[in-house]
């Protein structure tokens, strides 16, 4: 279907496995775990890549930034590793550190703390204490929901507690998320609206949510959410078939 060799295919699968996006076994490869960051990177990948690319534009050469957990933040780290030089990333995400550790021209500082295996994130009092040693211009974080008049939400109290404290050391805080998250909400308040400088999302954000952000003087950057249509050949000599990326 892809019109590539077996050698190329195996090499690409090896690379995806090393980056934690897929799991391989005999005869097939698959995404594993509903909360696994690698799996979530694969969902709405093209939109998340555009969001990460837009956010990367405000990171200056030689800057030190903080990255929280989440698939959009992992993709921002990758964008910065390829597009910028002398960027220092501080993070409490073990996944992000592993995701970009082999890329050049980027420095990683991984905070300590209690390790959550399912999310590959370091959280808790030790992480907060480690974060207090640093000051950074920008803190980028993900979210799992939004409530108008209340703010952005999270689903894990330790992750939320840690993010709130880390955000206090930043001059500006930014949310990176697909617009679908604006129709959901978690159990814990992640970030109040008056603590947020900007939001990077896609152009399907609900109008009422967009109005709330604008009324609270939050910079809103929307990327094009149009599906990317990729032509594949099923077999050499056969007419192309079209694949459209959609969320599972």
37-80 pLDDT, tens digit each: 666 777 788 899 999 999 999 999 999 999 998 899 999 999 99
- Residue 43, pLDDT score: 77
Beta-carbon contacts of 214 under 8 Å, excluding residues fewer than 6 positions away, are: 220
In whole angstroms, give the CA distance from residue 59 to residue 216. Answer: 23
* Contact (CB, 8 A) for 199 and 213: yes
> How many residues are present in the chain?
248
Q: Name the band, by pLDDT with cuts 50, 70 and 90, for residue 23.
A: confident
**pTM for the predicted model, two decimal places:** 0.81
* Contact (CB, 8 A) for 41 and 70: no
Sign of the C-alpha dihedral, residues 104, 230, 39, 4? negative
In whole angstroms, give the CA distance from residue 232 to residue 12. Answer: 17
**Cα first-last separation, the chain:** 21
- Residue 240, pLDDT score: 58
**Closest alpha carbon to 76 in 66, 248, 86, 190:** 66
3-20 pLDDT, tens digit each: 788 899 888 888 888 766
In whole angstroms, give the CA distance from residue 12 to residue 22. Answer: 11
pLDDT of 34 above 70: no
Task: Domains for the chain: give ranges and CATH numbers.
Answer: 1-30 (no CATH), 40-223 (3.40.50.1360)
Beta-bridged to residue 219, according to DSSP, are 198
SS3 126: helix
Indicate the helix (H) or strand (E) that contains 147.
strand 145-147
In whole angstroms, give the CA distance from residue 195 to residue 116. Answer: 26
Number of H-type helices and E-type strands within the chain: 8, 16
Q: Name the band, by pLDDT with cuts 50, 70 and 90, for residue 231.
A: low
């Amino acid at each position: 279907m892809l019109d590539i060799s077996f050698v190329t295919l195996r090499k690409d699968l090896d690379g995806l496995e090393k980056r934690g996006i897929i799991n391989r076994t005999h005869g097939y490869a698959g995404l594993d775990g509903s909360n696994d960051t690698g799996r979530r990177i694969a969902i709405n990948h093209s939109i998340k890549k555009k969001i990460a690319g837009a956010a990367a534009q405000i990171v200056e050469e030689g800057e030190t930034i903080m990255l929280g957990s989440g698939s959009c933040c992992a993709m921002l780290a990758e964008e910065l590793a390829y597009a910028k030089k002398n960027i220092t990333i501080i993070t409490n995400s073990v996944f992000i550190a592993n995701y970009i550790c082999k890329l050049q021209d980027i420095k990683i500082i991984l905070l300590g703390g209690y390790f959550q295996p399912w999310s590959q994130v370091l959280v808790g009092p030790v992480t907060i204490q480690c974060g207090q040693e640093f000051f950074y211009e920008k803190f980028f974080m993900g979210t799992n929901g939004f409530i108008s008049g209340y703010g952005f939400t999270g689903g894990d109290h330790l992750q939320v507690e840690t993010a709130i404290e880390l955000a206090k050391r930043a001059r500006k805080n930014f949310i990176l998320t697909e617009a679908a998250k604006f129709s959901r909400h978690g159990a814990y308040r992640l970030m109040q609206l008056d603590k947020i400088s900007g939001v990077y999302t896609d152009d399907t954000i609900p109008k009422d949510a967009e109005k709330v952000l604008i009324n609270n003087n939050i910079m809103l950057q929307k990327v094009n959410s149009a599906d990317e249509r990729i032509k594949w050949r099923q077999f050499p000599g056969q007419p192309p078939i079209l694949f459209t990326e959609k969320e599972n």
